[in-house]
Amino acid sequence: GQSLEQPSEVTAVEGAIVQINCTYQTSGFYGLSWYQQHDGGAPTFLSYNALDGLEETGRFSSFLSRSDSYGYLLLQELQMKDSASYFCAVRGNQGGKLIFGQGTELSVKP
Amino acid sequence: GAVVSQHPSRVICKSGTSVKIECRSLDFQATTMFWYRQFPKQSLMLMATSNEGSKATYEQGVEKDKFLINHASLTLSTLTVTSAHPEDSSFYICSAERGTEAFFGQGTRLTVV
């Protein structure tokens, strides 16, 4: 089966940098994705890594190491609006359905 | 980006009644859509995969007779919660995928009283 682990909560201050880690176990690997979800809202896509290395999109970056079954989401120059839950997700067998981690609730303080 | 629209956003129903939730992909065709359930402060749990023109694939433990899924066109999937009970109260979210990216509907907050 597939499983993902990520911290349940992270707190940081405005302007800081925060890293949210995700380790996964899958039978077959078809990429690691990250989604953001504000309270009561729909998840929105942030990034996708299929190959090792760092992908940068503005203030957000995502990293993948397939040999370590590990990835992280890096958020820079934190803003209050970044307070949300962040989910890592992997594809199931044969690139099928998305399996989500339990989510990391990020609280950004003034 | 692509848009997936879900309706209604909130519904309150009496115990024993049925509720239909619609999920539409507005600007691309989706042969497959996904239905999730989410409890407060928890992850998205996949309930079923909706396949256009064929039967849905349900995850283990999800009652197919209780959660009826219809995917009659390439842009519309519906989830009907039949004979709803208070324990069915939850946040239901649909998604459609294009390439490696999943686009989610706004979610439906179902409260069964």
Residues of chain B with pLDDT under 70: 1-2
Residue with tokens 């009826």: B68
Return the pLDDT at B41: 87
Q: What is the pLDDT of residue B113?
A: 97
Between A and B, how many CB-CB pairs are < 8 A? 48
Contact between A100 and A4 under an 8 Å Cβ cutoff? The reply is yes
pLDDT recorded at residue A95: 59
Residue closest to A45 by CA, chosen among B92, B5, B104 = B104
- Give residue B2's pLDDT: 65
What tokens does B76 get? 């519309």
Residue A91 confidence (pLDDT): 82
Residue A47 and residue A73 in contact, taking contact as beta carbons nearer than 8 Å: yes
pLDDT at B1: 61
Query: Closest to A87 (Cβ–Cβ): which among B41, B43, B103?
Result: B43
| Residue numbers in chain A where pLDDT is lower than 70 | 1, 92-95
B46 to chain A: nearest residue by CA? A99
**Minimum-distance CB partner of B107 among A42, A50, A102:** A42
Q: For residues A64 and A76, is the Cβ–Cβ distance under 8 A?
A: no
Establish if A41 touches chain B: CB-CB under 8 angstroms: yes
